[in-house]
Amino acid sequence: MRALVVEDDRPVARAVAEALGRAGFAVELLERAEPADAVLSCTGYDLAVLDIGLPGLSGLELLARLRGRGNHLPVLMLTARDAVADRVRGFEQGADDYLVKPFHLPELVARCQALVRRGRQARGALLAFGALAMDVGQREARLGGQALPLTPREWDLLEQLVLAAPDVVAKARLIDSLSRWDADISANAVEIYASRLRGKLGERGVALRTVRGLGYRLEVTDA
């Protein structure tokens, strides 16, 4: 699981990152909304934790931009403000949950884990492309009705491709996605996983194609 934490209070940011890290999240920290907005537009995350009172662009404005792009990433808002109006505005902008400072880290972790679970469920229990079907909840895939055994990295790679199909998924985006499993993953490693996945898919109705200089995509083929 990969999380972006946008918080300008460094002690709070470090505490949140450490707590989420212990819970299995790969955490990236940013102190301002402007670079976070750029990162969120091109990088895949499972969760974002946004402070409302950021310098410059506020957390609420960042959230509005995120939702304006049609991004349904689960978002937990943090704020020192305890006014009901602030919380209402956050929910109106598309926040999924809210915590008022000071908060207990175990509660934050539990809320984040719940948001990720709900986010995955909201994406649908079943993904499909051509003859390929993926049960997100069970992490099981079938191709042409037959079980398709996948390693965790192969599953994550295939899920990203199915979600984007038939569009091309940039190699950089796949590196970001797979880094939740291995922080040191390289472009060469992605090529290896793609090659293994291509071999498993074969030409049984769905094929993995390399788009030179761009990335990868799935195509429906004649079985």
Residues facing 100 on adjacent strands: 79
Q: Which helix (H) or strand (E) holds 195?
A: helix 187-201
Is pLDDT of 146 > 90? yes
Q: What is the CATH number of domain 126-220?
A: 1.10.10.10
pLDDT on residue 184:
59
- The domain limits of the chain are 2-122, 126-220
Q: Are 189 and 196 in contact (CB under 8 A)?
A: no
Is pLDDT of 124 > 90? no
57-70 residue pLDDT tens:
999 999 999 988 88
Alpha carbon of 10 to those of 24, 26, 31, 37: distances in Å? 21, 18, 8, 19
User: What is the average per-residue pLDDT within 3-15?
Assistant: 95
pLDDT on residue 94:
87
Residue that wins the pLDDT comparison between 88 and 157: 157
| Band of pLDDT at residue 182, cut at 50, 70 and 90 | very low
User: What gap in Å lies between CA 86 and CA 53, rounded to an integer?
Assistant: 11
Domains 2-122 and 126-220 share a fold: no
Is pLDDT of 176 > 70? no
Q: What is the CATH number of domain 2-122?
A: 3.40.50.2300
Name which of 99, 59, 66 is nearest 80 in CA terms: 99
Is pLDDT of 71 > 60? yes
pLDDT above 70: percentage of residues in the chain: 91
